[in-house]
Chains A and B, each alone.
Chain A
Amino acid sequence: MNTAIRFVALVLLAAFLAACARDVREEPTAPEPPPPRPAPVEEVDRVDPRDFTDARNLDNPDSLLSQRTIYFEFDRSNVRAQFRPIIDAHAAYIRANPSARVILEGHADERGSREYNLGLGERRGNAVEQPMQAGGVSGRQIEVVSYGEERPVCRDSSEDCWQRNRRVEIVYTAR
């Protein structure tokens, strides 16, 4: 048991450090957020990562529930097939947890006009919300908020960076 705890802690630490390393390269001046509080560690090893009703999977890197970002093509808002399983996993979680509340943050890359990009970000948020609602999630549990191009994750004017900014982030305000 002790080794299991240690292992999971190490995995989380490694994941966190990897995230740090990526952030540091992108924005050398940004200090790091405090490390995420590990989920109740003693039970993680017994969680089935495909159980999308279990809150512990939100922090389990082996589970689709730990993935919270859907990416889009330029000036498009259709959800590409490879992201559909992530949306379905969260839909299953939210449906099973009536107290869960989610904000779908819609974002756009820096190209084009800012107000149009607000519309585009919202359209992307709606494109993630719709299959969730079709999957039985209550509208009261989800809200779409568009930030347009105002909250980028990176700031290079390159396609590599732009595609990381064209996204919807699934943000849990209550689990």
Chain B
Amino acid sequence: MVSALRAVALTGLMLLPLLASAQLRIEIIDGVEGAMPIAVVPFAWESQMPEPASPVHEIISANLARSGLFEPMAEDEMIERPIRPPEVRFGSWRLLRVDHIVIGRVIDAADGIGQEIEYHLLDVHSGRILLSQALPVAPGDLRFGAHRVTDAVYEALIGVPGAFATRIAYVVVTDIGGPDELFELVVADADGFNPQTVVRNTQPLLSPAWAPDGRRLAYVSFATGRSNVIVQDLFTGQTEVVSSSPGINGAPAWSPDGRRLAVSLSRGGSPDIWVIDLDSRAHQQLTHHWSINTEPAWSPDGNRIYFTSDRAGRPQIHVMDVDGTGLERVTWEGNYNARASIGLEERYLAVVYSEGDNDFRIAIHDRETERLRVLSNGRLDESPSFAPNGSMVLYGSRENGRGVLAAVSADGRIRQRLVDSEGDVREPAWSPILR
């Protein structure tokens, strides 16, 4: 019960009803050849509540299509509409060349609070039921419920957890360069829906970073005319200035336990990596070097911190133990490697990479093979952020002079573009998986 309550508390509508923002439109540029054919059959609506405009099965189907790994069947091509497993005639679906089908219904919860999504995933060829679950959802929270169903279907068929029940944070700038220039930090569901402005400012905002609990964001604000590191609770709206020392206060990164923030502070004369304990506010300086040391990123076990340093002349990724010892240079290929985002395992680092300072692209550095693979093809790509399941990298790009977000799968085969109709979008950060 406790965990059910927690799940409810962490999902969609519990987010403070802040100002709505324009919604990102997600376009798929490249998908995988031979994506898996799947049919998400319209779910029966057996709830007393009015059916929402976007039915659950449509959201699941769109999610699967967006992943690039599935090719969901169009609804009007479905001849049969089974709801329960015994109603499925596998022969018909085999004829339609579908590998899997998802069926289900939405019913009111037994306790009268919210609803349940009852769903089944079936293998058309073997006739086996691969998944059969009833997922409770809080009132008004069906969208997030549909994302959770997609996560389960994705994991059952791909073998790694999905990252659909997640959020993204990003910065939108409107009237750029004009008299009403406005910076907005926005949080939306990973499919671009439900965008909400967390903070708006006439001064620059950058570097949003999700706490591991998915309910707090750290970011850099120039609201005072100087850079400050702010932590904001998305549920209460409460903000706290965590760092406002003289000089740069930038690049916040949460420790995996959520109790410390690594930041870049130049109070010592040049930017160095510091760790701030959020309870005691104790500051510990980890680097002591005249160069630029910034963009810290924690290893998943919290024992090491990756960061950008130009101590060797040009910016390159370095790593050190969390006490500042054991310094090691990580990247050697190209003359610019910066802003590392750490993948699911510490093996893969997504970085901003440049060979000759003309094109800045997103690359993945493989720590095991020491090889670097360029994933993006823009000229000014920046701010990579791994999905919490390691499947995709979200980043900032420019198209026709406008800031857009783009996502590419870790193997480079799937590409998406996320466009805001009104402004310049930048600085994406993918949330942890919200449980």
Contacts and interface: CB of A to CB of B under 8 A. Distances in A.
Interface of A: 27, 29-31, 74-75, 110-116, 118-120, 122-123, 126, 144-147, 150-152, 155-157
B266 A122 contact: yes
A157 B178 contact: no
Given A31-B179, A113-B339, A115-B339, 15 more contacts: A27-B177, A30-B178, A113-B308, A113-B315, A113-B352, A114-B383, A118-B248, A119-B264, A119-B266, A119-B292, A122-B271, A145-B226, A146-B227, A150-B206, A155-B176
A112 B338 contact: yes
28 contacts: A27-B177, A29-B175, A29-B177, A31-B179, A112-B315, A112-B336, A112-B354, A112-B360, A113-B338, A113-B352, A114-B206, A114-B383, A114-B427, A115-B250, A116-B295, A116-B308, A116-B310, A118-B227, A118-B264, A119-B266, A119-B271, A119-B293, A126-B269, A145-B226, A150-B206, A152-B177, A157-B380, A157-B401
Contacts, number: 99
Contacts of A114: 206-207, 382-383, 427
A21 B69 CA distance: 53
B391 interface: no
B300 interface: no
Contacts of A111: 354, 357, 360, 380
A116 B248 contact: no
Nearest 6 interchain pairs by C-beta = A119-B292, A150-B204, A113-B338, A113-B339, A115-B251, A119-B271
B380 A116 contact: no
Interface size class of B (residues with CB under 8 A): 35 or more
B136 to A, nearest CB: 41
A151 B177 CA distance: 8
A155 B269 CA distance: 30
A19 B264 CA distance: 37
Contacts of A110: 380
Contacts of B373: none
A27 B178 contact: yes
B398 interface: yes
Contacts of B264: 115, 118-119
Interface in B168-190: 175-179
Contacts of B175: 29
A157 B338 CA distance: 20
B383 A119 contact: no
Contacts of A144: 247
Contacts of B357: 74-75, 111
A110 B383 CA distance: 12
B416 interface: no
Contacts of B294: 115-116, 118-119
